[in-house]
Amino acid sequence: MLNRLALSAALALTAGATQAQEVALTGPVYEIAIQEIRNGDVADWTAARAPLLDGLAQTPGVEADWTLKAFFTFPEPGPLPVYVGLTRWSSIEEFGAAAQAMMTMPVVQSFFEKVAMQAFVQVAPADGGTFLLEDYINRPGQVLEVAVRTPKAGYEDTFDAARAGFFGRVAEQPGYIFDREFVTADGQRVVMIGWESQAEFMSALGALSQMPEMGAFFGIIDASAYQAAILE
User: Could you tell me if 138 and 115 lie in one domain?
Assistant: no
- The answer to whether 84 touches 68, Cβ cutoff 8 Å, is yes
Entry pTM? 0.90
In this predicted structure, what is the pLDDT of residue 76?
A: 81
User: Could you tell me if 118 and 8 lie in one domain?
Assistant: yes
User: Could you tell me if 107 and 174 lie in one domain?
Assistant: no
Domain count, the chain: 2
The phi and psi torsions of 8 (rounded to 5 degrees) equal: -65, -40
Task: Give residue 18's pLDDT band: very low, low, confident or very high (50, 70, 90).
Answer: very low
Nearest CA among 25, 27, 4, 28 for reference residue 187: 25
Q: pLDDT digit string (tens) for 62-79? A: 999 999 999 999 878 889
Q: 90: domain CATH number? A: 3.30.70.100
User: Could you tell me if 50 and 138 lie in one domain?
Assistant: no
Domain limits for position 201:
133-230
User: Could you tell me if 118 and 138 lie in one domain?
Assistant: no
User: Could you tell me if 112 and 203 lie in one domain?
Assistant: no
- The answer to whether 139 touches 178, Cβ cutoff 8 Å, is no
User: Could you tell me if 104 and 183 lie in one domain?
Assistant: no
Q: pLDDT digit string (tens) for 130-176? A: 999 999 999 999 999 999 999 999 999 999 999 999 999 999 999 99
User: Could you tell me if 157 and 175 lie in one domain?
Assistant: yes
DSSP 211: S
User: Could you tell me if 86 and 167 lie in one domain?
Assistant: no
- The answer to whether 91 touches 28, Cβ cutoff 8 Å, is yes
